[in-house]
Amino acid sequence: MLKTENITKSYNKVEAVKGVTLHVAPGEVLAILGSSGSGKTTLLRLIAGFERPDAGIVSIEGIDASSPIKMIEPSKRKLSMIFQDLALWPHMTVRQHIEFVLKKDKLSKNILNSEITTILDHVSLNGHNSRYPHQLSGGEKQRLAIARALASHANYLLMDEPFSSLDSMLKEDLQQLIIELKNKLHMGIIYVTHNIEEALVLADTIAVMNKGRLEQMDSKDKVLANPKNEFVRRLLRIE
């Protein structure tokens, strides 16, 4: 289980995240919904270990990963992240992206090759091994970002609005891919978005954020049936 307890972060006395408590279990998709500037990305960065919290704790599988006095390095948290701009390495081919991640496990050449093939098969990118990111289409870039995240065999996947720039058909394909991977690999996924339709397709649980605070967190059906306040009702466009 990945948990945050009363996590708080300020920048220049402006509180970006205010006492947020949430949790996600393996095999569950938690969608964090909120408008721009609501602290969604900061929350993900706190969970990933790129920011130190001012207060509160992030714990992963029962181990404190972040607190004001303790930080475990991002690479040791058994989580992976897909950034909003994907952050693909422009000087590396598709194969080199996956190799860079797998090489930390010091695998033999045969096992490394078969792992690369398996991972690229998962995302239907086999045959593109020697292409660079600039030679890939928008959807293929997203698939490469997903493949890189899968290669680390993480227990949790953080996704920061990864499909925001895609057309609706491509978005649907990739959402389907995420659901398949979640079921196959039993990963816990935190999916940050401002798009209600995306959240409704992917999420088991929805957390609504507003101005750094968590307004409501509950199962998708419960949030839709019983929005806690006017903000949640308006964001989810509930009549």
Partner 1 sequence: MNPRLEEAAFLVTNNCFKVIGKIVLPLIRSGLLAAFFIGFIDLGTTLLIMPPGKTTLPVKIYNLMHYGAEQMVAALCLVLIGIILVFSGTFYMAYKKVTKTN
Residues that bind partner 1 (CB under 8 A): 48, 50, 73-76, 79-81, 83, 85, 87, 89-92, 96, 99-101, 104, 148, 152
C-beta of 21 vs 96, nearer to partner 1:
96
C-beta of 20 vs 101, nearer to partner 1:
101
C-beta of 33 vs 149, nearer to partner 1:
149
Following DSSP, what letter does each residue of 101-132 receive, concatenated? HHGGG---HHHHHHHHHHHHHHTT-TT-TT--
Contact call for residues 20 and 13 (beta carbons, < 8 A): no
We find the least distance from the C-beta atom of residue 96 to partner 1, in angstroms, to be 5
C-beta of 56 vs 133, nearer to partner 1:
133
| β strands within the chain, DSSP E | 2-11, 14-24, 29-34, 55-60, 63-67, 70-71, 79-82, 156-160, 188-193, 205-210, 213-219
C-beta of 11 vs 100, nearer to partner 1:
100
We find the least distance from the C-beta atom of residue 133 to partner 1, in angstroms, to be 11
Overall residue count recorded for the chain in this entry? 239
C-beta of 128 vs 148, nearer to partner 1:
148
Give the Cα separation of 197 and 14 in Å (integer): 30
Following DSSP, what letter does each residue of 205-233 receive, concatenated? EEEEEETTEEEEEEEHHHHHHS-SSHHHH
Contact call for residues 157 and 80 (beta carbons, < 8 A): yes
Contact call for residues 61 and 71 (beta carbons, < 8 A): no
